[in-house]
Amino acid sequence: NLTTEEVTNAKKVRKLVKIPSLSESIPDNIQYLLIGGGTASFSAFRAIKSADPTARVLVISAEGYLPHMRPPLSKELWYGDDTEMAKSLNFHQWNGTTRSLFYEPEPFYTPVEELTTAKNGGISLARGWKVESINVSKKKVKLNDGKEISYDKCLIATGSVPKTLKLYDDANEELKNKFSVFRSISDFEDLWEQLGHIKSIAIIGGGFLGSELAASLANKGKKNGVKIYQIFKEKGNMGKVLPKYLSHWTTEKVRNEGVEVVTETEVENCTLENNKRRVNLKLSNGENISVDHVIMAVGAKPNTELATDAGLEIDSKLDGYLVNSELQARTDLYIAGDCACFYDKQLGRRRVEHHDHAVISGRLAGENMAGAAKPYQHQPMFWSDIGPSVGYEAIGIVDSSLVTLGVFAKGNHKDPSLLANETDQNTLQNKETNEELVSKNSESISENDYNKGVVFYLKNDVIVGIVLWNLFNRMSIARQVLKSDRCYKDLNEVAKLFNIHGD
Ligand code: FAD
Ligand code: NAD
Ligand code: NAD
């Protein structure tokens, strides 16, 4: 009989594949060294390889998996009926095509032992290995077993790590085992397995991860009668991003998916019940919830462990490695993805924790490592799908504390003559400040009114962000609007550019 701690450790050991098993197979010096095996790193590799076709690129990744994308882990992978497909980490995209989570299959990578001699260079992956420290002036890194590798150019793309709750940090191992975070393939596999034999899950957090996962798990758990709770501080789902009315509307959709959403509430305490099977959560609204498992979706922290030793600066407000517009922290040292705090020439200093930013910043860092000196100027987008009826894409700064103006298609326009004739009468406008909802129509909004539309986010009357709500294939228009002088007299006119009644 193993203790719970032993079981957890055994799981960790089973999952951490280390290839190559000995670090002596890893080159002692390399042209391009990429720290982290995520999206930003892989995108940098692609850019380096197209600028420098015989480049030798070594990726050191602490994860035991090939480079892959994370978005389907909280969405698409939960929706198919085919268990084998989910286990093989393939999923159906929105357009019906099947895709793998992995960017490239194993044979794409040059074996680490052959990288130095391969005629045309290539990319090698040392997985399950961690960079412990960087010596920036000597241009060297040290791995977790002490091995040193020197580089010509280096990228730090170490991403972010899930935050945990204090009540979890303070708990004993037995109680800790009832909690998990959700970021990696192994987190997905563990949760998939658990869902087969548990009856209730509480998700703490109302942001991207909590909201997507709550809808996905409720759908998946329907057949087995698994109850999903979602508990968070905000008034509605995505309350930090969406204007109040839209957040409220989204919460109703999440409830319709079968999730019991508990808003404006925090978990104050947790205890293991006498049968040791369930956790009791004491909530700030006075209620108690008893569940088999708890998922913490309470934000992520940029992974900047390497900063202190290397003497790299961390942004005191936004966190993350401080870099310039060219994504450079020091000579020959670049940062991209979630962990970069960069200077956006248009919108000021930022840090972005989304997929497309990892792609775009990784690409820019890669181009600059290979000799270009380009500034950050292509705005990344992001998207989220919360269950089957809420999908949106966004660009720029989208923060619900800003003034917003939303224009929505009113009702369901089934009559084609109405679709062709987009007028102000067919749109519903909502202006919201952080204080109040300034709209005469707010009381009479029917359930359908927020199905489709566009929301502008304003700072000093200038557009700084745009949400395209259930409205696709218009990102280039949004990018264009954000790129121009952005101070528009009539936002309704701008909204017309998006043809919100069209498909
Ligand atoms: P990561 O993907 O986190 O990769 C960092 C890598 O570095 C990891 O492999 C890590 O193990 C490795 N590493 C860290 N430290 C070291 C070290 N010292 N040595 C070696 N390796 C190290 N964004 C969207 O826009 N849309 C979505 O729908 C969406 N869905 C998401 C769903 C989930 C479940 C999650 C978790 C995120 C989602 N995101 C989404 C966010 C997006 O996935 C991230 O912004 C993106 O993965 C960031 O890429 P990255 O390369 O910066 O970091
Ligand atoms: P988030 O920042 O979107 O949301 C965090 C949530 O946790 C908020 O509801 C917040 O109020 C709550 N919270 C924070 N501290 C808390 C505390 N001490 N107690 C209780 N609640 C607390 O982060 P997330 O949803 O956890 O997502 C994790 C990471 O994954 C982020 O980087 C996110 O951008 C990324 N992600 C992105 C997408 C997407 O872009 N579609 C999807 C999933 C995950
Ligand atoms: P996509 O599959 O073309 O790309 C998604 C993101 O992944 C992009 O940001 C892209 O930069 C990146 N990406 C694509 N291939 C990559 C690769 N091989 N390596 C690294 N990164 C790669 O999807 P999209 O058209 O941009 O749509 C994004 C999301 O929007 C979809 O996942 C879907 O949820 C939603 N969407 C829905 C509809 C709809 O009609 N319901 C339409 C369009 C998009």
Q: Mean pLDDT over residues 193-220, rounded? A: 96
Q: Ligand 1, from 338, 357, 384: best to mutate by most atoms within 8 Å of Cβ?
A: 338
Phi–psi pair at 394, nearest 5 degrees: -150, 160
Give the pLDDT score at 423: 34
Contact between residue 308 and residue 216 where contact means Cβ atoms under 8 Å apart = no
CA 205 to ligand 2 centroid distance, Å: 6
Atom of ligand 2 nearest to the CA of 160: 32
Q: What percent of the chain has pLDDT over 90?
A: 79
Sort strands 427-432 and 403-409 into parallel, antiparallel or unpaired: antiparallel
Please identify, by atom number, the ligand 1 atom nearest to the C-alpha of residue 162: 36
Q: 440 exposed, middle or buried (CB, 10 Å; 0-12, 13-18, 19+)?
A: exposed
Question: What's the pLDDT at 416?
Answer: 33
Q: CA 206 to CA 198: how far, in whole Å?
A: 22
Ligand 1 pocket, residues with Cβ under 6 angstroms: 35-41, 60-63, 70-71, 73-74, 130-131, 157-160, 182-183, 209, 303, 337-338, 353-356, 358, 382-384
In this prediction, residue 443 carries a pLDDT of 37
What would the pLDDT profile of 178-199 be if each residue is shown by its tens digit? 999 999 999 999 999 999 889 9
Beta-sheet strands, E only, within 387-500: 390-396, 403-409, 427-432, 437-438, 453-459, 462-469
Q: What is the pLDDT of residues 339-381, one digit of tens each?
A: 999 999 889 999 999 999 999 999 999 999 999 999 998 999 9
Quick one: what percent of the chain has pLDDT higher than 70? 89
Per DSSP, the chain holds a count of helices (H) and strands (E) of 13, 30
pLDDT at site 71: 98
Residue 225 has pLDDT above 80, yes or no: yes
**Cα 440 to Cα 427: distance, rounded to the nearest angstrom:** 14
**Residue minimizing CA distance to atom 44 of ligand 2:** 209
Which one of the ligands is nearest to 476 CA?
Answer: 3
Ligand nearest to the CA of 132: 1
Is 44 a residue whose pLDDT tops 80? yes
Amino acid at 249: W
The residues with which 156 forms a beta bridge, in sequence order, are: 35, 335
Q: Which two tokens stand for residue 25?
A: 């197979």
Ligand 2 within 6 A of CB of 266: yes
CA diameter of the chain: 71
Residue nearest to atom 3 of ligand 2 (CA): 207
In Å, how far are 86, 214, 497 from 182, measured between CA atoms?
A: 16, 12, 38
pLDDT in tens, 286-324: 999 999 999 999 999 999 999 988 999 999 999 999 999
* Ligand 2 neighbour 165 (Cβ under 6 A): yes
Task: Please give the average per-residue pLDDT across 462-481, as a whole number.
Answer: 95
How does pLDDT run across 416-449, given as a tens digit for each residue? 333 333 333 345 666 665 433 333 233 344 556 7
pLDDT, one tens digit per residue, over 58-98 is 999 999 999 999 999 999 999 987 888 888 999 998 888 99
For residue 267, what are the β-bridge partners?
A: 283
The pLDDT value recorded for residue 490 is 84
Note the pLDDT of residue 2.
Answer: 47
What was the pLDDT predicted at 202?
Answer: 98
The per-residue pLDDT for 305 is: 96
Q: Over the stretch 117-155, which tens digit does the pLDDT of each residue have?
A: 999 999 999 999 999 999 999 999 999 999 999 999 999
| Ligand 3 pocket: which of 66, 94, 357, 381 to mutate (most atoms within 8 A of CB) | 94
pLDDT band at 1 (very low <50, low <70, confident <90, very high): very low
Q: How confident is the model at residue 9 (pLDDT cuts 50, 70, 90)?
A: low
Pairing type for strands 29-35 and 148-156 reads parallel
**Mean pLDDT over the full length of the chain:** 90
- Alpha carbon distance 125, 45 (integer Å): 11
CA of 474 to the centre of ligand 1 (A): 26
Ligand 2 binding pocket includes 353 (Cβ within 6 Å): yes
pTM summary value:
0.91
472 lines ligand 3 (CB under 6 A): yes
The single residue listed with the structure tokens 């412990």 is 132
Ligand 2 centre distance from Cα of residue 290 (Å): 23
Helix H or strand E encompassing 300 = strand 300-302
> Per 3-state DSSP, what percentage of the chain is helix, strand, and coil (rounded to 5)?
30, 30, 40
Q: Are 9 and 16 in contact (CB under 8 A)?
A: no
Kindly tell me if the per-residue pLDDT of 503 is higher than 90. no
